[in-house]
Amino acid sequence: MIILITGASSGLGNDFFMPFLLETAEGVRRMKKAIDKRKEFYAFPFRFYVIIRLIQLLPSLLRQKIVNYFL
């Protein structure tokens, strides 16, 4: 399973900094490398994946407050 977390609409029309946005070619290269290595699980960009996983460890009330802050 490959998990891809991207920015909104590939950044088209957005003028703000999107640190986790990947170029299409780079995303394809990473997916191909994971497939070639027969990885059962590969998530990228890894930094964003780690942030999401850490937030999931928080109590639900705190997690909801953090998520609502950014929405």
Strands 42-44 and 2-4: parallel
Per-residue pLDDT reduced to its tens digit, 14-49: 677 777 777 888 888 988 999 999 988 888 778 888
Q: At what angle do helices 60-70 and 46-56 cross, to 10 degrees?
A: 140
Per-residue pLDDT reduced to its tens digit, 55-65: 889 999 998 89
Q: What is the 3-state secondary structure (H, E, C) of the chain?
A: CEEECCCHHHHCCCCCCCCCCCCHHHHHHHHHHHHHCCCCCEEECHHHHHHHHHHHCCCHHHHHHHHHHHC
Does the model's pTM come out above 0.85? no
Query: What residue segments make up the domains of the chain, in order of their start?
Result: 2-8+20-70
